[in-house]
């Protein structure tokens, strides 16, 4: 009888130990929770984007009691602020224009992505979209524009929201698989004109969204920085 009691006691201990979550399993559970959170944030971002479409460039908006001017970086920042994220939280520690400050902030955190297939919420950085330094030379003006990814089609065509200085806040297109193609054989727009004032008849050698793309910044990413930009309630 004594041996039986010892046996069942040891069996109970083994069962309890086997039910404990291993460090690996805890990491998986945390990752799954973060993925679920990201999917929810992406959905909210897509929905919020619809409320910005059609607004005038440089118009003033108030989002969660904070004022924004809808230039290129202001539009991206306001959209993220609407879901509770302050992407400009520490960009003031960097020099340059608003686009370059955010770029350097994300670069320091390892949040830049060069993958040609982005995810919803990725921030797009472009170079040379206008002659920012005013020297008359096209192609030496880095980090001049930004937008935000809302959707990617099967053929690689990306739908992005940004401030178009002629048409206001709009959704336009970029395809990094065919970066120098304006419209495909069926007339579908693959890459929207992005260089200031360019069109199909008059433009510099590189003028399309795909031509001028530099990197993505991915804030909605599992890891230590997922909550870094979250606004404290």
In the chain, the domains with their CATH numbers are: 27-217 (3.90.1720.10)
Confidence grade of residue 232 (pLDDT, cut at 50, 70, 90): confident
Mean pLDDT of the chain: 90
Confidence grade of residue 8 (pLDDT, cut at 50, 70, 90): low
Question: What are the DSSP calls for 2-22, one per residue?
Answer: HHHHHHHHHHHHHHHHHHSPP
Percentage of residues in the chain with pLDDT exceeding 70?
Answer: 86
What is the structure's pLDDT at 129?
97
pTM across the whole model = 0.86
| Segment 112-134, tens digit of pLDDT | 999 899 999 999 999 999 989 88
| Segment 162-216, tens digit of pLDDT | 999 999 999 999 999 999 999 999 999 999 999 998 888 899 999 999 999 999 9
Q: How far apart are CA 4 and CA 198, in angstroms?
A: 86
Are residues 128 and 143 in contact, defined by beta-carbon separation less than 8 angstroms? no
The residues near 72 (Cβ < 8 Å, ≥ 6 apart) are 98, 99, 145, 146, 147, 162, 163
What is the structure's pLDDT at 198?
86
Are residues 111 and 221 in contact, defined by beta-carbon separation less than 8 angstroms? yes
Joined together, the tokens standing for residue 223 give 């890891």
């Amino acid at each position: 009888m004594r041996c039986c009691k010892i046996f069942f006691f040891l069996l109970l201990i083994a069962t309890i130990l086997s039910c404990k979550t291993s460090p690996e399993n805890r990491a998986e559970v945390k990752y799954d929770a973060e993925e679920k959170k990201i999917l929810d944030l992406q959905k909210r971002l897509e929905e919020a984007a619809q409320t910005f479409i059609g607004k005038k460039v440089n118009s003033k908006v108030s989002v969660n009691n904070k004022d924004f001017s809808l230039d290129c970086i202001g539009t991206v920042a306001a959209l993220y602020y609407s879901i509770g994220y302050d992407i400009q939280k520490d960009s003031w520690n960097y020099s340059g224009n608003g686009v370059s400050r955010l770029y350097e902030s994300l670069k320091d955190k390892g949040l830049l992505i060069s993958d040609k297939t982005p995810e919803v919420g990725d921030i797009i950085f472009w170079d040379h979209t206008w002659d920012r330094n005013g020297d008359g030379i096209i192609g030496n003006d880095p980090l001049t524009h930004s937008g935000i990814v809302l959707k990617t089609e099967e053929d690689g065509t990306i739908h992005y929201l940004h401030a178009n200085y002629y048409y206001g806040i709009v959704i336009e297109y970029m395809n990094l698989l065919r970066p120098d193609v304006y419209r495909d054989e069926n007339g579908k727009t693959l890459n929207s004109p992005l260089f200031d004032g360019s069109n199909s008849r008059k433009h510099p050698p590189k003028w399309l969204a795909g031509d001028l793309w530099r990197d993505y910044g991915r804030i909605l990413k599992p890891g230590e920085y997922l909550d870094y930009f979250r606004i404290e309630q």
